Amino acid sequence: KQEVTQIPAALSVPEGENLVLNCSFTDSAIYNLQWFRQDPGKGLTSLLLIQSSQREQTSGRLNASLDKSSGRSTLYIAASQPGDSATYLCAVSFRLTGGGNKLTFGTGTQLKVEL
Amino acid sequence: GAVVSQHPSWVICKSGTSVKIECRSLDFQATTMFWYRQFPKQSLMLMATSNEGSKATYEQGVEKDKFLINHASLTLSTLTVTSAHPEDSSFYICSARLDRANQPQHFGDGTRLSIL
């Protein structure tokens, strides 16, 4: 079964700290992996997309890595700010046997950055 | 960048009402659109995948007669929740993708549905 797991479920850090969010997935047959941010009651904001052939992607203070063979991805947030407080979702685009894909989401990590 | 518009953003209605949610790709043609449901403090669960001009493919456990999906054009898909009941209250999010499976999905802002 193609599943995505995120650890930890919740995280609270002081402002300025660097932090790492973890995502693991059960099947290495993937097209890509995306990290999203979701604020309470809102939709998804795409942060980073890593294609299966890539190892990492960077955008500003965010860096995402992908190790397809071990089924792991990390999202690194540098110098965290209170505005980074949100739920972070990892989503994996799994290849389907008959063709096509299915985007499967993890349960998310709820991040709180405190002043 | 690719923009997906979802409307309405919030609906409150009485039990037994049917509710239609629209999902539009504004600046690209979406061969495939997806509908997700999210319960409070849970992640997104795929309900169905729709391809333009053909019937939607529903995930296991999702009632196709309850959740009617129409993808009549390359820029519009609709989800109709028929005879909605309080247990259908949830956050519904659509996404759209270009024609290849390795392309990213672009998400709408979601619709919060509350059935009284």
How long is chain B?
116
Contact across the interface for B109 and A31, Cβ inside 8 Å? no
Q: How far is it, in rounded angstroms, from Cα B66 to Cα B26?
A: 27
pLDDT band at B5 (very low <50, low <70, confident <90, very high): very high
Q: What does the pLDDT look like over A10-35, one tens digit per residue?
A: 999 999 999 999 999 999 899 999 99
Stretch 33-52 of chain B: residues touching chain A, C-beta under 8 Å? 34, 42-46, 49
Interchain contact B110–A (C-beta under 8 A)? yes
Contact across the interface for B102 and A51, Cβ inside 8 Å? yes
Residue environment code for B50-59, b if the CB has 16+ CB neighbours within 10 A, otherwise e: bbbeeebebe
B105: Cα separation from own chain's centroid = 13
Does the pLDDT of residue B1 top 80, yes or no?
no
> Beta strands A72-77 and A101-105: pairing type?
unpaired
pLDDT band at B54 (very low <50, low <70, confident <90, very high): confident
Q: What does the pLDDT look like over B11-48, one tens digit per residue?
A: 999 999 999 999 999 988 888 999 999 998 888 999 99
Task: Please name the residues in contact with A43: beta carbons below 8 A apart, sequence gap of 6 or more.
Answer: B6, B93, B107, B108, B109, B110
> Beta strands B111-115 and B10-13: pairing type?
parallel
- Other C-beta atoms closer than 10 Å to the C-beta of A39 total 11
Contact across the interface for B107 and A43, Cβ inside 8 Å? yes
**Dihedrals phi, psi of B101, to nearest 5 degrees:** -65, -20
DSSP of B100-112:
STTSPPEE---EE
Only one residue has tokens 């169905």, namely B48
| Residues A75/A103, Cβ–Cβ less than 8 Å | no
Contact across the interface for B43 and A105, Cβ inside 8 Å? yes
